[in-house]
Structure 1
Amino acid sequence: MKKKPEWGFKENQELHAAAAFTIRNILEAIMGNIDESRTGKTMIHLGHGDPSVYPCFRTTTIVQDALIESIRSAKFNCYPDGVGIDVARRAIAKYLSRDLPYLLSSDDVFLTVGANHAIEVLLTVLARPGANILFPKPNYPIYEARARFSELEVRHYDLLPDQGWDVDLDGVKALADENTVAIVLINPGNPCGNVFSSEHMKKIAETARELEIMVIADEVYAHQVYGPKPFIPMGVFGDIAPVVTLGSLSKRWIVPGCRFGWIALTDPAGILQQTGIGACLKSCLTISADPPTIIQGAIPSIIENTSKSFFLNINKLLKEAADLFYEALKEIPLVTCPYKPEGSMFAMVKLNISAFDDIVDDTDFCMKLTKEEAMILFPGDAVGLKNWVRVSIGTEKKVLEDAIARLKEFCIRHTKTN
């Protein structure tokens, strides 16, 4: 037999390109600059939204007890249905219904391996040749990464920093056409730390109805608010336009490693079921991964038994961090935070690049900050805003104070001296 000149397989370059969008890959590249022995400083990681390593942000013992009981019961060692086990779906439906003017059933809920998996499933379901989807700018990077593997054309609408990161609705209308399928809305905001008002959300729903598209409401940080505006789920306006809600256990319960999320059809008119979206979600999940059944079995207890005081304490800690960071930033040259965080655990900070002596852009800023101060921030270019940085404020007070001091020293050191 004639020998083949080379192997029949080779690396998937498209996969590399998609992975370049992910937070993990970007942070890995930045962290490669850390040399704690050279700087004499321990690493401060404000590049991702995972405060679980800090004692003040540890999850409730309710989560631990529920997981132990789920294991010991021996009821949840089986394969689950693709959409999730019924007791967990009912618990999530009941949980979401608390904030809605209508009741969800378990048939409206589809369980996923965290919110990233939910995004993957939804983009798969909506993809078809010629279709397009509207993403915010700035955006959560995994949307961009997953879209590269779908047939959806991506179009970006602006969030307006001088208007509290509200949606540029005129821009949305200009972008959409007859092939637009959905608009993605992240509230509370990642990466901006904003919270949409009820009035603004109603306008978004009315715009979606006018354009005849669905709203994908990414509410991973639901109820994690600490400013003047309360959290209002987009599903409240589901009678105006159909809404698909994404949620997760990760952030509110501070357990990102549990990898448990959901997709909910918050659509009282039933448009998403009538158009086959519900059936398509079920089909997609049938051939996809499932959250561990052990975790699914623990969900009813976690949802029902976690005290309000736990959530109030988490929000109190985040508010204190937001207040500290926002005020301290005013004393640091060449950086500005145009909007004080009110929700999630992030702030977007603008860099005055032209006033730095030897900083080329936001990525260069983050690389040099890591090398000189052993401190990690996330470059804004990766979320769609060049020459900004995203800062996670979900950390202990003393760590945040140290981070602010390091940031100030770095900015002063690199300021142009005319």
Structure 2
Amino acid sequence: MENGTAAEKWRFRGNEVLNTASAITIRGVLNEVMDNIEESGPRPIIPLGHGDPSAFPCFRTAQIAEEAIVDAVRSAQFNGYASTVGIPPARSAIADYLSKDLPYKLSPDDIYLTIGCTQAIEAILTVLARPNANILLPRPGFPFYEARAAYSHLKVRHFDLLPEKGWEVDLDAVEALADENTVAMAIINPGNPCGNVFKYQHLKKVAATARKLGILVIADEVYDHLTFGSSPFVPMGVFGNIVPVITVGSISKRWIVPGWRLGWLATNDQNGILQKYGIVDCIKGFLNITSDPATFIQGALPQILGKTGDDFFSKIVNILREVADICYDRIEEIPCITCPSKPEGSLFVMVKLNLALLENIKDDIDFCVKLAKEESVVILPGVAVGLKNWLRITFAIEPSSLEEGLGRIKAFSLRHAKKQ
């Protein structure tokens, strides 16, 4: 066979679903925005797009957490393979940690360790993805859910979060969207991208609605306890006697260590429904055919969860309260941007873009691309999280950098303001 014709016979092709799914992730969109920044520009890049505060000294993790990792490595007890569901001491530590906020006690058998919260999301969406099934997701939301659902051929229907009601779930829309093929709804609390914190009574209504529809609730609580407003964090598992709840979480945010990739999936189901309907066995089956988190990090978990002091958590929450206040106050000074409610949790806030006040700005993507190019400030276009012509801004950076970044956004907005 001639070399020139051999390529015509190759039978393999790339999986197009991967390209489609990855394009709608936050990383995919931010990479597109970042391509417009010259790395050697005169001013430092200010990252207000991706919520990773670990790069800033004021957000360094707890010393006890660092020591726990060192101790685990030096012990030489965690150099081998772990059980696919996680090592027993780590499962027990997570069960104890989550049970502190619940009216009942979780068992270690309710806990499954994952490579960050993203693998926990992968697990439950893969488990639920039977033919014709659909899942209800919030808009705005975290686009990894859409990307992973697309990859698993799980159909998606969106319910709105209502900005005029503090980003509460539109429960009427949830009922209208659901049909006999609906398997679950997801909520993120504290909220990414909105910075909201759901109240107890609203979560109880979510549980009652899900029970009425016969669907489970995926409770994404990766930002648990990162609250600094009037509403305390309430885990969805509190309502595990009303509806089956799958909680996904990690140490990434509260301990400021996203790169450690240690997460979990927890079953909150006092009535045994998840076991009866095969969900528990399928979770184990998924974990049997995937990778698991590094064993030494699992080994460190009892010390990390059990011995981190309240002073560390208070320090982080106080910094977040300070930068959230700065963010909200400075946004009010920018004419073309409106913030519907002050953030009370997580690391983000959603703001509405008024294009009518701007010259030569087509939409939210155009705004972010030109802002990056002209001001070396990176923020996320709202379309990436489901709301066109909105913006998601993270405030989880050093206060002085945040002030400068928002000042640059104001200067950019004034420069592009429509002439009167």
Q: Kindly indicate whether residue 302 of structure 2 is the aligned counterpart of residue 300 of structure 1.
A: yes
Residue in 1 aligned with 2:32?
29
* Distance in 2 (alpha carbons) for counterparts of 1:325 and 1:139: 20
TM-score by length of 2: 0.98
Where in structure 2 are the equivalents of 1:48-63 lying within 5 Å?
48-63=50-65
Q: What one-letter code is carried by the residue in structure 2 that aligns with 1:108?
A: D
Give 1:167-186 correspondences, 5 Å limit: 167-186=169-188
Within a 5 Å distance, the mapping from 1:115-130 to structure 2 comes to: 115-130=117-132
Deviation at 1:8, TM superposition (A): 2.0
Supply the distance in 2 between the matched residues of 1:324 and 1:374 (Cα, whole angstroms): 20
Aligned match of 1:19 in 19, 22, 29? 22
* Cα shift at 1:12: 2.1
Query: What SS class does the counterpart of residue 331 from structure 1 fall into?
Result: coil
Number of the residue aligned with 1:6 = 9
For residues 299-318 of structure 1, the aligned pairs below 5 Å read 299-318=301-320
Q: CA deviation at 1:330?
A: 1.2
Matches within 5 A, 1:23-102: 23-35=26-38, 37-38=40-41, 40-102=42-104
Counterparts of 2:206 and 2:18, CA distance in 1: 34
Which whole-Å CA distance do the structure 1 matches of 2:15 and 2:288 have between them? 26
Rounded to whole Å, the distance in 1 between the matches of 2:275 and 2:240 is: 13
Aligned equivalents of 1:172, 1:272: Cα separation in 2: 21
> Of residues 250, 253, 258 in structure 1, which corresponds to 2:252?
250
Quote the Cα distance in structure 2 between the aligned partners of 1:69 and 1:99: 28
SS of equivalent residue, structure 1 residue 359: coil
- In structure 2, what is the Cα distance between the partners aligned to 1:201 and 1:41? 44
Q: Which amino acid aligns with 1:326?
A: Y
2:411 matched residue in structure 1: 409
Q: What are the ranges of 5 or more consecutive residues in structure 1 without an aligned counterpart? A: none
Aligned to 1:161: 163
Aligned position for 1:207: 209
1:310-361: CA deviation from partner (whole Å, max 9, x where unpaired): 0111111111111111112111111011110000010001100122101000
- Aligned mate of 2:374, from 372, 395, 400: 372
Structure 1 letter corresponding to 2:257? V
User: Take 2:38 and 2:405, find their aligned partners in 1: how far apart are those partners?
Assistant: 16
> 2: CA distance between counterparts of 1:161 and 1:6?
55
Q: Secondary structure at the match of 2:266?
A: strand
Q: Distance in 2 between matches of 1:332 and 1:139?
A: 25
Gaps of 5+ in 2: none
The Cα of 1:151 is off from its aligned counterpart by 2.7
Partner of 1:275: 277
Paired with 1:241 and 1:118, the residues of 2 have a C-alpha distance of 19
Which whole-Å deviations, capped at 9, do the CAs of 1:63-113 have from their partners, x for residues lacking one? 110011101111111111111111100100011000001111111000000
Structure 2 distance, partners of 1:333, 1:186, is 30
Q: Provide TM-score, normalisation by structure 1.
A: 0.98
State the match for 2:262 in structure 1: 260
- Secondary structure class of the residue paired with 1:382: helix
Quote the offset at 1:35 in angstroms: 1.9
Letter in 1 for 2:28: N
Q: CA deviation at 1:36?
A: 5.1
Any idea what SS the aligned residue of 2:218 has?
strand
> Which of these residues, 335, 338, 346, is aligned with residue 336 of structure 1?
338
* AA partner of residue 197 (structure 2): V
Amino acid at match of 2:126: T
Query: How many angstroms apart in 2 are the aligned matches of 1:51 and 1:72?
Result: 28
Residue range with higher mean Cα deviation, 354-363 or 255-264: 354-363
Give 1:255's aligned amino acid. Answer: V
Aligned partner of residue 151 in structure 2, secondary structure: coil
Tell me, in whole angstroms, the C-alpha distance in 2 between the residues paired with 1:243 and 1:36: 45
- Please give the per-residue CA displacement for 1:21-70, whole angstroms capped at 9, x wherever unaligned: 112121111111112545x2110001111000111000011111001110
> Residues of 2 paired with 1:321 and 1:166: CA distance?
23
State the AA in 2 paired with 1:250: S
Amino acid at match of 1:127: A
Question: One-letter code of the match for 2:16?
Answer: Q
* Local SS of the residue matching 2:106: coil
**Structure 1 residue 275: deviation in Å?**
1.4
Aligned residues: 417
Q: Hey, what's the Cα distance between the residues in 1 that align with 2:79 and 2:283?
A: 24
- Which residue of 2 is the match for residue 145 of structure 1? 147
Residue 6 of structure 1, CA deviation: 3.3
Q: How well do the aligned residues superpose, as a CA RMSD in angstroms?
A: 1.1
Match for residue 288 of structure 2 among 269, 286, 289: 286
1:402 positional shift: 0.2
